[in-house]
């Protein structure tokens, strides 16, 4: 049989004894020399004694957070009420400014002064005394009269004016522009939005031959009339292919001695017709083109009213450059004291086919 060693002796701290039930039972009192185990601070008051009245509890030091995320105190009487949690708490409060809803309808504090010699009159309406043309113009409710005048050529026989500001402008049109067309006026009407439309008999914008001379003369009279009224050509506005381009005129100083003539270019660009040009230009333009484009010049005809120059598309294996031809004509006209003022796209052919014809309006340089 295997023998085991002597059993080991174990010591228990704080005078503890091995766990067993004594034969005489548990003692009612602690044995002599026994000491109680030490107490640790596992409870707030281990000695069961409350702190004195002079003791004040202090809150722990705040954490090291940035100042912009701390909530500012709102314990003052004039503090701003707290906002919703979705809004910024530190947003600045801007006091609302009182707004005045009253509006000065007469615009007496801001008035515009006009340097022109004529005076703009806010008349209640205007009606021409002509029996063939009814021209109505209303200026009521306009705090500022328009300074731009728009002229458009619609279809093959209509002329329209927009933003009319002077009743005298319609009188000048009736006297100097409308009578030039021999077939007369078909209808004329005005509206209360300061616009006026006139329809001519026939098709003046697509005419040719002797009637074309009268049409170009009517266009030059239009520019001359507007210049005397103080309107100067500004630009051509083309807002879409379905809407006719508009000639924009700006209200400036009156020009009493202005002079205009016109040049028409064919659809192909190889025929140039000059209407009512000064004698110096009519006598020299054909000779100048012959010297510059002698191979391409086919024919030239000069009368009292017009000068017609025809050129061939190609000659001697060289093709005519239409841009060079147009630039040469402008240089020759500038040399004689005139410059290009405007370019007008007129109506198409009699049947409505083809592209619009181009008309140049030349003005004498003052």
Do 325 and 215 lie in one domain? The reply is no
pLDDT recorded at residue 133: 40
| Torsional sign, CA 294, 296, 298, 300 | negative
And the tokens for 170?
């319609």
Domain end position, chosen among 257, 276, 301: 257
217 to 113, 221, 262, 274, 341: CA distances (angstroms): 36, 6, 8, 11, 15
Residue 63 lies in a domain: no
Residues 6+ apart with CB under 8 A from 357: 206, 264, 265, 266, 267, 345, 346, 347, 348
Residues 6+ apart with CB under 8 A from 325: 269, 272, 289, 293, 311
In terms of C-beta density within 10 A (0-12 exposed, 13-18 middle, 19 or more buried), how is residue 160 classed? Answer: middle
Do 132 and 219 lie in one domain? The reply is yes
Residue 361 lies in a domain: yes
And the tokens for 71?
């909530």
Residue 78 lies in a domain: no
Report the alpha-carbon distance of residue 237 to residue 239 in Å, rounded: 6
pLDDT recorded at residue 115: 36
pLDDT recorded at residue 47: 60
Residue 264 lies in a domain: yes
Report the alpha-carbon distance of residue 154 to residue 134 in Å, rounded: 19
Q: Are the C-beta atoms of 301 and 307 separated by less than 8 Å? A: yes
Do 150 and 222 lie in one domain? The reply is yes
- Phi and psi dihedrals of 308, rounded to 5? -110, 125
pLDDT recorded at residue 290: 87
Residues 6+ apart with CB under 8 A from 19: none
User: What torsion, rounded to 10 degrees, do the Cα atoms 109, 110, 116, 120 define?
Assistant: -80
Q: Which CATH number do you get for residue 282?
A: 3.30.1410.10
Domain count, the chain: 2
236 to 160, 218, 242, 285, 344: CA distances (angstroms): 15, 19, 16, 27, 8
Q: What is the CA radius of gyration of the chain?
A: 51
pTM, rounded to two decimals: 0.61
Do 199 and 283 lie in one domain? The reply is no
Q: Phi-psi category of 186—alpha, beta or left, where left has phi over 0 and alpha has psi -120 to 50?
A: alpha
DSSP 3-state assignment of 71?
Answer: coil
pLDDT recorded at residue 134: 42
Do 252 and 274 lie in one domain? The reply is no
pLDDT recorded at residue 111: 39
Do 297 and 228 lie in one domain? The reply is no
Domain end position, chosen among 257, 273, 294: 257
Do 129 and 160 lie in one domain? The reply is yes
pLDDT recorded at residue 18: 60
Domain end position, chosen among 202, 228, 257: 257
pLDDT recorded at residue 91: 45
Give average pLDDT by consecutive 10-residue segment, the chain, 366 residues. Answer: 59 61 64 66 58 62 63 55 51 45 38 40 39 45 73 92 87 93 91 87 90 95 94 87 85 91 87 93 90 86 91 80 89 94 79 70 90
Do 196 and 288 lie in one domain? The reply is no
Residue 45 lies in a domain: no
Do 222 and 273 lie in one domain? The reply is no
Do 243 and 282 lie in one domain? The reply is no
Residue 1 lies in a domain: no
Q: Are the C-beta atoms of 247 and 344 separated by less than 8 Å? A: yes
Q: In what order do the strands lie in the sheet with 185-191?
A: 185-191, 195-200, 158-162, 148-154, 246-251, 231-237
Do 253 and 129 lie in one domain? The reply is yes
Report the alpha-carbon distance of residue 300 to residue 291 in Å, rounded: 13
Residue 344 lies in a domain: yes
293 to 282, 284, 303, 309, 312: CA distances (angstroms): 17, 14, 22, 12, 10
User: What torsion, rounded to 10 degrees, do the Cα atoms 271, 272, 273, 276 define?
Assistant: -170
pLDDT recorded at residue 190: 82
pLDDT recorded at residue 259: 94
Do 267 and 249 lie in one domain? The reply is no
Residue 365 lies in a domain: yes
342: domain range?
A: 259-366
Residues 6+ apart with CB under 8 A from 134: 127, 128, 188, 189, 190
Core vs surface per residue 188-202: b (16+ CB within 10 A) or e: bebeeebebbbebee
pLDDT recorded at residue 223: 96
């Amino acid at each position: 049989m295997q023998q085991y060693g002597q059993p080991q002796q174990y010591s228990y701290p704080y005078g503890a004894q091995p766990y067993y039930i004594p034969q005489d039972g548990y003692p009612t009192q602690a044995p002599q020399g026994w000491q109680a185990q030490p107490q640790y601070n596992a409870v707030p008051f281990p000695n069961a004694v409350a702190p004195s009245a002079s003791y004040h509890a202090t809150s722990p030091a705040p954490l090291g957070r940035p100042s912009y995320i701390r909530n500012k105190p709102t314990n003052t009487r004039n503090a701003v009420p707290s906002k919703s949690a979705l809004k910024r708490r530190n947003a600045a409060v801007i006091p609302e400014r009182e707004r005045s809803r009253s509006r000065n309808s007469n615009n007496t504090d801001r008035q515009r002064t006009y340097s022109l010699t004529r005076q703009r009159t806010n008349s209640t309406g205007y009606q021409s005394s002509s029996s063939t043309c009814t021209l109505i113009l209303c200026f009521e409710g306009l705090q500022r009269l328009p300074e731009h005048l728009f002229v458009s050529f619609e279809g093959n026989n209509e002329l329209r004016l927009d933003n009319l500001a002077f009743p005298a402008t319609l009188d000048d049109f009736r006297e100097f522009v409308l009578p030039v067309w021999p077939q007369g006026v078909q209808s004329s009407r005005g509206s209360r939005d300061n616009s006026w439309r006139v329809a001519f008999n026939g098709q003046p914008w697509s005419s040719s031959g002797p009637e074309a001379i009268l049409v170009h003369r009517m266009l030059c009279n239009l520019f001359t009339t507007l210049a005397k009224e103080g309107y100067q050509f500004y630009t051509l506005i083309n807002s879409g292919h379905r809407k006719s381009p508009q000639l924009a005129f700006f209200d400036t100083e009156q020009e009493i001695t202005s002079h205009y003539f016109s040049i028409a270019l064919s659809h192909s660009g190889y025929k140039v017709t000059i209407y009512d040009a000064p004698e110096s230009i009519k006598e020299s333009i054909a000779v100048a083109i012959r010297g510059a484009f002698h191979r391409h010049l086919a024919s030239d005809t000069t009368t009292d009213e017009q000068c017609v120059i025809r050129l061939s598309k190609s000659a001697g294996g060289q093709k005519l450059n239409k841009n060079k031809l147009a630039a040469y004509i402008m240089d020759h006209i500038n040399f004689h004291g005139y410059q290009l003022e405007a370019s007008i796209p007129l109506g198409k052919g009699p049947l409505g086919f083809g592209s619009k014809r181009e008309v140049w309006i030349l003005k004498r340089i003052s």
